[in-house]
Amino acid sequence: MTRCFNELPSDAQRLNHNITPVADCECNEEMLYGERMRVTEVPVLTCQCLWRACQREAENIVAPDGVLIADPVQRNRAINAAYARLWLHDARFQWAGLAAFASKQVGCGLLHAADSIELIRQEHEARQRVRDGRRESGLLTPDKMPGQAETWAEYQEARARNPVPSLDFRPPGEELSLVQQQFRHVYDMMAMGNTTLFLDVYPLHRFYAVRGWEELKKCLKTRRTIYGHARFPVLWPIGGKALPFGEAFQEILNGFEAIDAGNIAESVNQLAWHEQRNILQPSIYENRHLVTLLRGNHFSYVTGLPSGVAQAIELTLASQCQRVDDDRTIDFGRNPLADLSDIDQRMEFVLRAAARFHQMLNDSNRDALAQSIREIAARADA
């Protein structure tokens, strides 16, 4: 095992017992039931205390010093690394190992969306420079023609890099074109889902790793009670109305019970269902705008119409974004009408990836897979 979590005093303290000797606790006089009595306040370690500590450790990864990492790509790298460290800490946390690759793939999508937005911006600004030059000097002013030729060449290069040079429209007064707005929506939703899932599942793993299965089972239902406390706020980017915080879903109990029993493949299946059905489905896959864009992306990728715009829906079990032409890349499928927002279609894809990951961990690919996870763990600050 590698060191994964910060050590806290509560890690070694007994649940529902005092954490300070009674003799060391302050004693004061108070009026109780109409009589003056001496009262000693004794701090006790409760389930809520443990959950706050676990939640705070997850928050410190994505929001150091209480401030959410503003750049979703950088935040995603921190999340990927944290998942990777969970598996390196305890190989029974196989869901986390797979999540390191899945979250890495989300980061690849974030980069694709950000790059596309930037390339569209560059083409727009280059076209504007051509128009401004013509407006100021006309087309046939001799001393301006070399500069105009250079500006035109720059525009042609920017246009060639733009993934949608002929399929876009920029409404008057809008900073982003329609296609840029679509890329931005996908970018924002993926980043929010990525962060929300992490803040749900990382504390669960931390709690189990430190306190064990019996206390996780005993305390799981109290987790939701720490949300909404004015003195100890919980970071939950989606908000408690859109997705209630800390619900004690049965898949969580099933997943960690399977880990404790050594049934690792089943633990991955149970936690994958929790991840997809309880967290990601309500947080992102029920957003109609996103669903439309995802379906359009997949149709475009499979059919090649329009060419060069879409990104493949796939998971590569390597530290890189690019697909690998062997069994390490699992794709969503070639049906142009497939729908990633449909949980049954999505879970078929997720469970195929989980089965392939489990197989690789138990054959000659294990060392290469572990090296990829170590590379992901090292990229938190890249």
Match 């996908």 to its residue by tokens. 186
Place of tokens 């950000």: 114
* Cα–Cα distance for residue pair 196/102, rounded to 1 Å: 14
Task: Judge whether 126 and 155 are in contact, CB under 8 Å.
Answer: yes
Return the minimum-mean-pLDDT range out of 136-150, 155-169, 263-277.
Answer: 136-150
Residue 202 has pLDDT above 60, yes or no: yes
Q: How far apart are CA 133 and CA 151, in angstroms?
A: 8
What count of residues does the chain have? 382
Q: Is the pLDDT of residue 86 over 60?
A: yes
Residue range 343-369: mean pLDDT, rounded: 95
pTM, 2 dp: 0.89
CB atoms within 10 A of CB 337: 8
Instruction: Please provide the distance, in angstroms rounded to a whole number, between the alpha carbons at the two ends of the chain.
Output: 24
Q: What is the structure's pLDDT at 171?
A: 85
Least confident of 29-38, 116-125, 149-158: 29-38
Is residue 203 over pLDDT 90?
yes
142-151, 153-162, 316-325: least confidently modelled range: 142-151
What is the model's pLDDT at position 134?
A: 73
pLDDT of residue 240: 87
Contact present, 362 and 97 (Cβ < 8 Å): no
Q: Residue 5: what pLDDT?
A: 87
Burial category of 185 from C-beta neighbours within 10 Å (exposed 0-12, middle 13-18, buried 19 and up): middle
pLDDT of residue 305: 58
The pLDDT tens digits of the residues spanning 206-244 come to 999 999 999 999 999 999 999 998 888 999 999 988 999
User: Encoding tokens for residue 247?
Assistant: 């619900």
Q: What is the pLDDT of residues 174-196, one digit of tens each?
A: 888 888 899 899 999 999 999 99
362-369 long-range CB contacts below 8 Å, 24 or more apart? 365/328, 369/317
- The domain spans of the chain are 9-114+178-377
Query: What digits encode the pLDDT tens for the residues 304-332?
Result: 656 566 788 999 999 999 888 888 999 99
Which residue is listed with tokens 């410190």? 60
3-state helix, strand, coil split of the chain in percent (to 5) is 60, 5, 35
